[in-house]
């Protein structure tokens, strides 16, 4: 008997942003992301409340993938940030905070959404064209012939994730490893089109971070017993490799539904095993040295291959298949039929290695761009965070290779950009408005909201009750203890700006970031010698920040533009 139930009517809410519930949930979300921001950001413990795995993190990717939000507006917000993070890895929190700030600031103004959106777009394009222009005062060229800037970039990412629990020495060590791993993925003789290789992160939890290392080639984890049973290969030439993506375990292939009837005395298992041994004979006659299988190899086949001095390794797992194909130049073999000769590939050499308590089989490539980053950290939580951070850093280096510029970090780019926009909107509003219908007052209002949104992003770098200043020459960020005694003492109290490029001994004027100040032209065009001498800069990825800026403004625009939420209640 079926039961019919009357459909519930859809629920339609107008002006969703104005409701109290949305405001509170948005502010909760904002509080979560702002408190995570920066090197002294606070961590979050994510768990399911039943004693499951506890994730301690301050990274947007880990945070947002665990957050389960209910309201559509929050869903839009988290989805677009996750989208940004999945393609750029970095600047997720920046995007989230900026977006929340923009929504909050603009709402207070009471302007019509259309005006707000149009002006926001203008300001966004102003920012982007400035950051991309030659005159931009907050970006520096990345010199790939020296490691200095690249190391700064990696170090800035590592230090901005306190849950990795790295000491200074460990930070230096891991930064160097990440850079090495990245460099190993660049092909040596590249002409025209460069295809980057891959760095595989191999987990080694429980060991000291300082024991982490980078090796060219691929590491396959094995048990000690398996490893001991491997025969030593003595061959001077490259080794011939066959890579199977099908199972060689000898089970009969899936027969689908229904029953297969076999008469007594016939063994399907033996039939399959015979087929496997035939395959083995072909491998022997083709002079293969190394058989790798994603899944399981039947023990009898293994024994047969070993007898003929072929190394057989099974249970490699799906994640290693692609890098293995790339590195050895094999075509993964997917059937038990005869093997096409050009499916075989080669490796230069193989050896065994032991790290911590784990044993590995190490495939050394001829010249391929695959490397393994053996990553250690003391416990699971910190390891997971470190792994994510390393992936981010590797990704950022790749992005930087495409666009060899880096932005000054530590909040200096944001304050500098805000100063630039203030100056532009004050002194040259016509060029922004062009033939728009918006008035100059509206532009001033929105620009102020936009700039203060940017500035409160950097305000959230401070978690211990300090104050943030900006100088009136470069528009960089400076931090000072709260209730500091006297303005005159500032050059002594301050040491250097957020990115580490300038120090306080210059004749500078400072003012509180919160206070209003007259617009000034932040100095553009960085002096080259200044960049060259600073060895410890805090830097951000240009590509990721540009995208973050764009995503934040566009998402804010989208959310501000919402006038109805229609929910299907069925």
Which of 392, 447, 459 lies closest to 178, judged by CA? Answer: 392
Q: Which one among 15, 143, 251, 506 touches another protein, defined by CB under 8 A?
A: 251
Do 336 and 246 touch, CB atoms closer than 8 A? yes
* CB of 41 vs another protein, minimal distance in Å: 8
- Scanning residues 410 to 429, which ones bind another protein (CB under 8 A)? 410
* CB of 434 vs another protein, minimal distance in Å: 39
**Phi and psi torsions of 290, nearest 5°:** -140, 120
Do 400 and 406 touch, CB atoms closer than 8 A? yes
Which of 241, 253, 252, 248 lies closest to 277, judged by CA? Answer: 248
Is 138 a binding residue for another protein by CB under 8 A? The answer is no
Region from 29-37, 185-193, 421-429, 522-530 binding another protein, contact rule CB under 8 A: 29-37
Query: Closer CB to another protein, residue 50 or residue 191?
Result: 50
Is 74 a binding residue for another protein by CB under 8 A? The answer is yes
The count of other CB atoms within 10 Å of the CB of residue 261 is 5
d(CA 307, CA 325): 26
Query: Closer CB to another protein, residue 38 or residue 548?
Result: 38
Query: Closer CB to another protein, residue 111 or residue 499?
Result: 499
d(CA 416, CA 477): 8
Q: Which one among 9, 110, 192, 258 touches another protein, defined by CB under 8 A?
A: 258
* CB of 371 vs another protein, minimal distance in Å: 25
- Scanning residues 434 to 493, which ones bind another protein (CB under 8 A)? 462-467, 478-481, 493
Site pattern 306..335 for another protein (x: CB under 8 A): -x------xx--------------------
- Scanning residues 516 to 555, which ones bind another protein (CB under 8 A)? 536, 538
Q: Which one among 1, 6, 12, 225 touches another protein, defined by CB under 8 A?
A: 225
Q: Is 198 annotated as belonging to a binding site?
A: yes
* CB of 36 vs another protein, minimal distance in Å: 9
- By CB under 8 A, the count of residues binding another protein is 103
Q: Which one among 56, 330, 369, 389 touches another protein, defined by CB under 8 A?
A: 56
Which of 470, 473, 519 lies closest to 497, judged by CA? Answer: 470
d(CA 106, CA 557): 10
**Phi and psi torsions of 470, nearest 5°:** -135, 150
Q: Concatenate the DSSP letters of all residues of 1-13 into one string.
A: -----PPPPPEEE
Do 132 and 121 touch, CB atoms closer than 8 A? no
d(CA 307, CA 327): 27
* CB of 494 vs another protein, minimal distance in Å: 8
Q: Which two tokens stand for residue 258?
A: 């229904």
- Scanning residues 177 to 206, which ones bind another protein (CB under 8 A)? 205-206
The whole-angstrom distance between residue 527's C-alpha and the CA centroid of its chain comes to 31
Q: Is 195 annotated as belonging to a binding site?
A: yes
Query: Closer CB to another protein, residue 159 or residue 369?
Result: 159
Q: Is 194 annotated as belonging to a binding site?
A: yes
Is 167 a binding residue for another protein by CB under 8 A? The answer is yes
Is 45 a binding residue for another protein by CB under 8 A? The answer is yes
Question: How many Cα atoms are found within 13 Å in the side-chain-facing hemisphere of 487?
Answer: 8
Which of 399, 425, 410, 442 lies closest to 542, judged by CA? Answer: 399
Site pattern 501..520 for another protein (x: CB under 8 A): --------------------
Do 30 and 103 touch, CB atoms closer than 8 A? no
Is 25 a binding residue for another protein by CB under 8 A? The answer is yes
* CB of 296 vs another protein, minimal distance in Å: 3
CA angle 58, 63, 67 (to 5 degrees): 150
Q: Is 199 annotated as belonging to a binding site?
A: yes
Is 70 a binding residue for another protein by CB under 8 A? The answer is yes
Is 67 a binding residue for another protein by CB under 8 A? The answer is yes
Q: Which one among 246, 346, 366, 496 touches another protein, defined by CB under 8 A?
A: 496
Q: Is 258 annotated as belonging to a binding site?
A: no
Q: Which residues are paired to 98 by β-bridges? A: none
- Scanning residues 354 to 393, which ones bind another protein (CB under 8 A)? 356-357, 378-382
Q: Is 329 annotated as belonging to a binding site?
A: no
Query: Closer CB to another protein, residue 68 or residue 525?
Result: 68
Residue 296 DSSP class: P
Instruction: List Cβ neighbours of 28 (8 Å cut-off, separation of 6 or more).
Output: none
Q: Which one among 11, 14, 18, 66 touches another protein, defined by CB under 8 A?
A: 66
Q: Is 196 annotated as belonging to a binding site?
A: yes
Q: Is 84 annotated as belonging to a binding site?
A: no
Residue 160 DSSP class: T
* CB of 279 vs another protein, minimal distance in Å: 16
Is 105 a binding residue for another protein by CB under 8 A? The answer is no
Sheet bearing 213-216, strands edge to edge: 198-205, 370-377, 213-216
Q: Which two tokens stand for residue 154?
A: 């990696």
* CB of 498 vs another protein, minimal distance in Å: 5
Radius of gyration of the chain (CA): 29
Is 29 a binding residue for another protein by CB under 8 A? The answer is yes
Residue 41 DSSP class: P
């Amino acid at each position: 008997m079926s039961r019919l139930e009357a459909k519930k009517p859809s629920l339609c809410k107008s002006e969703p942003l104005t409701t109290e519930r949305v405001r509170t949930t948005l502010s909760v979300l904002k509080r979560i992301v702002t408190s995570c921001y920066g090197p002294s950001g606070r961590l979050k413990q994510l768990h399911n409340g039943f004693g499951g795995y506890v994730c301690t993190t301050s990274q947007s990717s880990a945070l947002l993938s665990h957050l389960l939000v209910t309201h559509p507006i929050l869903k839009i917000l988290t989805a677009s940030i996750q989208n940004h993070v999945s393609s750029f890895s970095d600047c997720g929190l920046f995007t989230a905070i900026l977006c929340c700030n923009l929504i909050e600031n603009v709402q207070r103004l009471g302007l019509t959404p259309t005006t707000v959106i149009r002006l926001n777009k203008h300001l966004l394009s102003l920012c982007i064209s400035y950051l991309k222009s030659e005159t931009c005062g907050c970006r520096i060229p990345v010199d790939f012939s020296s490691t200095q800037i690249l190391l700064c970039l990696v170090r800035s990412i590592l230090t901005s994730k306190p849950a990795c629990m790295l000491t200074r020495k460990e930070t230096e060590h891991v930064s160097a490893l990440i850079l090495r791993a990245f460099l190993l993925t660049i092909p040596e003789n590249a002409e025209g089109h460069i295809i980057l290789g891959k760095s595989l992160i191999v987990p080694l939890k429980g060991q000291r971070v300082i024991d982490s290392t980078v090796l060219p080639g691929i590491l396959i984890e094995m048990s000690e017993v398996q490893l001991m049973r491997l025969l030593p290969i003595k061959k001077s030439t490259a080794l011939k490799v066959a890579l199977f993506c099908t199972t060689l375990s000898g089970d009969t292939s899936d027969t689908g539904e229904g029953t297969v009837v076999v008469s007594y005395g016939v063994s399907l298992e033996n039939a399959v095993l015979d087929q496997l041994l035939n395959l083995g004979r072909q491998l022997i006659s083709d002079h293969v040295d190394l058989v790798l299988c994603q899944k399981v190899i039947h023990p009898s086949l293994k024994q047969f291959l070993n007898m003929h001095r072929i190394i057989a390794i099974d249970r490699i797992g799906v994640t290693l298949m692609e890098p293995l194909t790339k590195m050895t130049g094999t075509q993964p073999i997917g059937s038990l039929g005869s093997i096409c000769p050009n499916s075989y590939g080669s490796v230069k050499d193989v050896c065994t290695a032991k790290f911590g308590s784990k044993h590995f089989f190490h495939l050394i490539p001829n010249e391929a761009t695959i490397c393994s980053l053996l990553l250690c950290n003391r416990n699971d939580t910190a390891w997971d965070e470190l792994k994510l951070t390393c992936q981010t850093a590797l990704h950022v280096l790749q992005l930087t290779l495409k666009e060899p510029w880096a932005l000054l970090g530590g909040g200096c780019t944001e304050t500098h950009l805000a100063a630039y926009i203030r100056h532009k909107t004050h002194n040259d509003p016509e060029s922004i408005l062009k033939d728009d219908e918006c008035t100059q007052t509206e532009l001033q209002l929105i620009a102020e909201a936009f700039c203060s949104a940017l500035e409160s992003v950097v305000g959230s770098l401070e978690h211990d009750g300090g104050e943030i200043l900006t100088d009136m020459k470069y528009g960089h960020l400076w931090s000072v203890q709260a209730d500091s005694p006297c303005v005159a003492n500032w050059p002594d109290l301050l040491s250097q700006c957020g990115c580490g490029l300038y120090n306080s001994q210059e004749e500078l004027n400072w003012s509180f970031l919160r206070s209003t100040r007259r617009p000034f032209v932040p100095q553009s065009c960085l002096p080259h010698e200044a960049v060259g001498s600073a060895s410890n800069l805090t830097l951000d990825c240009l590509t990721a920040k540009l995208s973050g800026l764009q995503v934040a403004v566009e998402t804010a625009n989208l959310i501000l533009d919402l006038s109805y939420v229609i929910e299907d209640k069925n």
